[in-house]
Structure 1
Amino acid sequence: MMKAIIFDFDGTLANTLPICFDAFQHVFKEFDNKDLTSEDIKEMFGPSETGIIRKNLSNPNKEEAIEYFYEKYSEVHKSLVEINPEILELLNSVKEADTKIGIFTGKAKRSLDISLQAVDMEGLFDVIITGDDVINPKPHPEGLLKALSLLEVKNSEAIFIGDSDADIAAGVKANVFTIGVQWLPEYQTSTFSIEPNLIITSVKEFKSAFKVGVL
């Protein structure tokens, strides 16, 4: 039996990719006069939102752009992202089975806190590692290894669940069981270039596997 399950956030626990895309599109249009597609923005993923802006924005007013990002992110959250009862039930059922749960995300703590409150997930997790907590973002395993250390769980006793190639690469490098999920309306990777141990396309499928002890 696994002792801990660590989850990515965007596209894995909440359908927040649309608000990430929307907020970044507003920032780059406002400050660089650039029209970016969702795919353009996906190419930048890895660092936290603040890291993405500092690295990719040409305009020197980067701190102002970061504040504008959070303004837009908060503004559209309720209209674009609904609370997902199925995901909440999954998290609570895992906790009830005495399995520790955590988050390892590239998001900054500020945007994650906004989202956790909006989707009713505050206080659920035993450990949270954000993009602010690491030097090396995904696909580096630094954050995942940090989470396992804080949970006092061995690699062989943990699962990492994510929706992107970077998630799976981090999980493989950390030597944990990896699950690629495609169970929300928006997710990052339709075909994983690094094969996860398991691909799951519905929350129901995961719950069934967890219940019978496959995971």
Structure 2
Amino acid sequence: MKAIIFDFDGTLANTLPICYYAFQTVFKEFDNKDLCSEEIKAMFGPSETGIIKENLLNINKEQAIELYYEKYSENHTKLVKQNSEINDLIRYLIGKGLKLGIVTGKARRSLDISLKAIQMENFFDVIITGDDVIKPKPHPEGVKKALSLLNVKNNEAMFIGDSDADIHAGIQANVITVGVQWLSDYQTLEFSIDPHSSFNSVSEFIDFLKKGVSYEL
């Protein structure tokens, strides 16, 4: 294994509450709609700007997008905390000499806010956001692009995520897939297609890595 690629929301950081809050504010303000977290989650796939452009009825979409980022930024510290276990995992992987990447549906603007807030902005060799692909997950475009930029083969990489879309994208990119439910908020209760492995805690995953288990793709 030469590289580990992560999803972001619900995988590296418990950012789903701030995403829900910002979207709920936007849809209430512009469409007078009260959306629950499940309704918002059903829109996930495109970046935040894509979600607003595709789902908001109000014509003032650019204003709505700016409100989203305003709410996302101003409430980030309150709703998103650093996770010491995730930090330990990242340090462990870097110490092992592994290349690290992120493939996320988030827009670059919100990802940058989050990475800076939780002090993760300097850990990753490659970052692919929703702005960098034509086809979002579950399409494998983002994972394949990350592999290319990391200069690793598909059988030398692992993709870790908390959603069905992550697992589908990883399998279609022909990499090892790991489904995780190790943060308090995650996207998928049960994966519709089985990942190669799944973990409910970060420490369990680190123990797994230390054992050096290998897979046949």
- 2:196 equivalent in structure 1: 197
How far apart in 1 are the matches of 2:121 and 2:3? 18
How far apart in 2 are the matches of 1:96 and 1:214? 18
Deviations 1:176-215 (A, max 9, x none): 0000000000000010001100110000001111112126
- 2:18 maps to 1:19: yes
CA RMSD, Structure 1 to Structure 2 (Å): 0.6
- 1:34 equivalent in structure 2: 33
- 2:180 equivalent in structure 1: 181
- 1:4 equivalent in structure 2: 3
**Unmatched 5+ stretches in structure 1:** none
Deviates more, 1:203-212 or 1:49-58: 203-212
3-state SS, counterpart of residue 186 of structure 2: coil
Aligned pairs for 1:40-59 within 5 A: 40-59=39-58
- 2:64 maps to 1:65: yes
**Unmatched 5+ stretches in structure 2:** none
- 1:162 equivalent in structure 2: 161
Aligned pairs for 1:60-139 within 5 A: 60-139=59-138
How far apart in 2 are the matches of 1:127 and 1:89? 20
Deviations 1:113-155 (A, max 9, x none): 0000111101100100000000000000000000000001000
How far apart in 2 are the matches of 1:167 and 1:212? 24
Shift of 1:76: 1.1
What is the percentage of aligned positions where both structures have the same residue? 69
How many pairs were matched up? 214
Shift of 1:85: 1.3
- 1:149 equivalent in structure 2: 148
Shift of 1:82: 0.7
How far apart in 2 are the matches of 1:127 and 1:108? 15
- 1:211 equivalent in structure 2: 210
Shift of 1:90: 0.4
How far apart in 1 are the matches of 2:211 and 2:97? 15
Shift of 1:49: 0.2
Shift of 1:36: 0.3
Q: Please, what TM-score do these two structures have when normalized by structure 1? A: 0.98
